[in-house]
A and B are shown apart, each in its own frame.
Chain A
Amino acid sequence: MRRPISLYGLTFSLPLLIWQVLFFVFPLLFLVALSFWTVKNFALRPGFDTVNWTTIYGRAVFWQAYGTTLALAAAASVLTTVLAFPAAYAIAFKLSDTARRWAVFLMVIPFFTSYLVRVYSWQIFLSDNGIFNAILGWIGLGPFAMLNTPGATMMGYLTLSYPLVVLLQVFSLTFIDRTLIEAAHNLRCGRLRTVFEVIIPSARTGLVIAALFCFILSFGDFVSPVYLGGGKPTTLSILITDTTKSGQQWPRAAVIALSMIGTLMIVAFTAVTFAYRGKTK
């Protein structure tokens, strides 16, 4: 049954609607239009030409970057989820109330400083004559190339999303009905097995949403692939900046951006469907 829209409801939802139209729908439509424009003599020319789409989709470098970005973001989601879960589990189930408050507070602290600053400080640790290599040098090892590697990029992704993923996981774990855990124990399910048989299935929605956040943040991230990965391998975000810099190819960059948005929408939709599967009513 549809209810008529009241003036009251409209007044409160209007700012959100205006915001969405102004800063999401409108730019998105503009991006779509832009992707059909052309560039002549470094100047944008409005029009309707599919040349940008065929050019970008015909280039191996695009598909390579696309595969890399997808793989890195997926790996970051899995890695962050796996690394965050023991921490979230301990915070949710093992700590006292006071300790839990402190742990949650500690997970909020990283947001006090800019992500860029945190990435720069990783450089101090990872560079060839950085802290890690200095320590390894004392015991006669190295130096190892740590900076400008995909591993360093991954470290950046973790820095970006780990605290958020832990917080989201803690949130979903604390909402699990403790009686279900006791019931599983009572039916001969041991401690570790209960984690896989009861806790993870119970918290599925929250765990998937947390991993999705990690994927979204990593997939579009520009800072870590550049400042920690050294631009190697090229991700889609780097490809966008390269494309805009070389010959003012804003329309081609728009094609890449739209491909990223499309990918994120498919991933998000799939993840949400999976997260809420079987939760009818």
Chain B
Amino acid sequence: MTPDTLVSFEGVVKRFGGFVAVQRLDFEIRKGEFLAIMGSSGCGKTTTLRMLAGLEAPSEGVIRLSGQPVNDLPTWRRDTPMVWQSLALFPFLNVRENVEFALKMRGTPKAERRRRAEQWLERMHIGEFAERNISQLSGGQRQRVALARSLVVEPEILLLDEPLSALDAALKVRMQSVLKNLQRETGITFVYVTHSQSEAFSMADRVVIMSRGKIEQIGTPQDIYRRPGTRFVAEFLGSSNIFQGTLARDAQGGSALETPLGSFATENITGLEAGAQATMTVLDTKTHLAAERPAGERNVLAARMIGEEFVGSVATIYLEAAGGQEIRVQKGHDQLAALPLEIGRELFVHWNPADAHIIAEA
């Protein structure tokens, strides 16, 4: 445990009856970081957050908050305010009363309460709605009330449970920058649970990827994107082409992955023996296309084009290699202009061995 650790999970397990929601979590949350916990539904991410908030008790293991074990501390004795997916604003209180709620529970004097609530309402740009009912606000405004209500006590840590999932796309992007700026300005540790890769990767300093109650990988968004730690992560992110095979070393000391589609050279191998089962991932943006078999390339694969998709200035080309393996290539329009893009046409996919990432797992 380092001095800048705020929260640590030590061998935390959570069972609901016979169902294991979370199996052995060991990780730390640093002071002042924006941590996103990402995974598909049922992966245990919300349970993890609820245990941190004190809304569920761990079945095994210890959760420490600022070094102190908090397993038996009920949620109303911890300072772990949460922003809920449904926001959970009190409909029988107006905006100001909602924001003042936590202060009132601490016995903060009325004048002080009012001053701090107003300060946060102004900061969230909802000062003019102070006397409104919750039902009279838009989705974005409610979001801001929910944030103000949790932040008014100026906690060390803020927990967010998919708070943006109910907003439309444009508002979502705007709220993402609001959240990121808020986190940077206040220095409060944010723990943000989401199933959305774009939310996690655009806001978080570090991302935890969970699957079936276990952590698959922890790292910076860059790191996880370029070097997925497990085959699951690579598949979950969906931005890489994935090949499985056996590792081989040639006489010159180079390495290659022998796959049913051919032998692909790679440079990025550490601590792996020849003969080991491994997975190669290549980002779809680092995968290139050619009309004729390119000379001098070591990693070339013939594939038939099966579809294309345009989003803004970026195009994704879908191809099918032997054995039905799907290949994705993502490029700007101008990079594709010279290619004969027709459905059913055979093209050549190639990539640089330096861009191939190896996972020690088949």
Contacts and interface: CB of A to CB of B under 8 A. Distances in A.
Contacts of B88: 177, 179-180, 182-183
Contacts of B55: 182, 185-186
A190 B76 contact: yes
B167 to A, nearest CB: 18
B86 A177 contact: yes
A177 B88 CA distance: 8
A281 B106 CA distance: 33
A185 B79 CA distance: 11
B337 to A, nearest CB: 52
Contacts of A177: 86, 88
A193 interface: yes
A137 interface: no
Contact of A281 (B75, B135, B149): B135
A82 B328 CA distance: 67
A29 interface: no
Interface residues on A, range: 20 to 34
Give the most central of A182, A186, A280: most B CB within 10 Å: A186
Nearest to A204: B92
Given A186-B80, A280-B135, A179 B92 contact: no
Contacts of A193: 105
A149 interface: no
A193 B74 CA distance: 14
Contacts of A204: 92
A189 interface: yes
Contacts of B77: 188
Interface in B50-99: 53-55, 74-77, 80-82, 84, 86, 88, 90-93
B101 A186 contact: no
B133 interface: yes
Contacts of B75: 182, 185-186
A6 to B, nearest CB: 32
A61 to B, nearest CB: 44
A179 B102 CA distance: 16
Contacts of A185: 55, 74-76
A180 B81 contact: no
Contacts of A280: 133, 135
B102 A187 contact: yes
Contacts of B82: 183, 186
A184 B238 CA distance: 39
Contacts of A123: none
B102 A188 contact: yes
Nearest to A179: B88
Interface string B119-139: 000000000000001011000
A187 B76 CA distance: 6
Nearest to B135: A281
A278 interface: yes
A174 to B, nearest CB: 17
B53 A180 contact: no
A176 to B, nearest CB: 11
A114 to B, nearest CB: 40
A281 B132 CA distance: 13
A202 B135 contact: no
A154 B83 CA distance: 47
A186 B105 CA distance: 11
A126 B100 CA distance: 52
Contacts of A184: 90, 101
Nearest to A277: B92
Interface string A59-89: 0000000000000000000000000000000
A202 B88 CA distance: 12
A278 B133 contact: yes
A179 B18 CA distance: 24
B254 to A, nearest CB: 57
Contact of A179 (B84, B105, B149, B150): B84
A182 to B, nearest CB: 6
A138 to B, nearest CB: 47
B101 A187 contact: yes
A278 B94 CA distance: 10
Nearest to B102: A187
Nearest to B94: A278
Nearest to A281: B135
Contacts of B80: 186
A238 interface: no
A198 interface: yes
A119 B344 CA distance: 87
Contacts of B84: 179, 182-183
Contact of B90 (A186, A198, A281): A198
A46 interface: no
Interface in A180-216: 180, 182-191, 193, 197-198, 201-202, 204
Contact of B105 (A180, A182, A189): A189
A202 B92 contact: yes
Interface string B1-40: 0000000000000000000000000000000000000000
19 contacts: A177-B86, A177-B88, A179-B84, A180-B88, A183-B84, A186-B53, A186-B82, A187-B76, A187-B101, A187-B150, A188-B102, A188-B153, A190-B76, A197-B105, A202-B92, A278-B92, A278-B133, A280-B133, A281-B136
Given A188-B105, A197-B101, A280-B135, 16 more contacts: A182-B84, A182-B88, A183-B82, A185-B55, A186-B55, A186-B75, A186-B76, A187-B76, A188-B77, A188-B153, A189-B101, A189-B105, A201-B90, A201-B93, A202-B91, A281-B135
Interface of B: 53-55, 74-77, 80-82, 84, 86, 88, 90-93, 101-102, 105-106, 133, 135-136, 149-150, 153
- Leading 9 A-B pairs by shortest Cβ distance: A183-B88, A187-B102, A201-B92, A188-B105, A179-B88, A185-B75, A189-B105, A185-B76, A188-B76
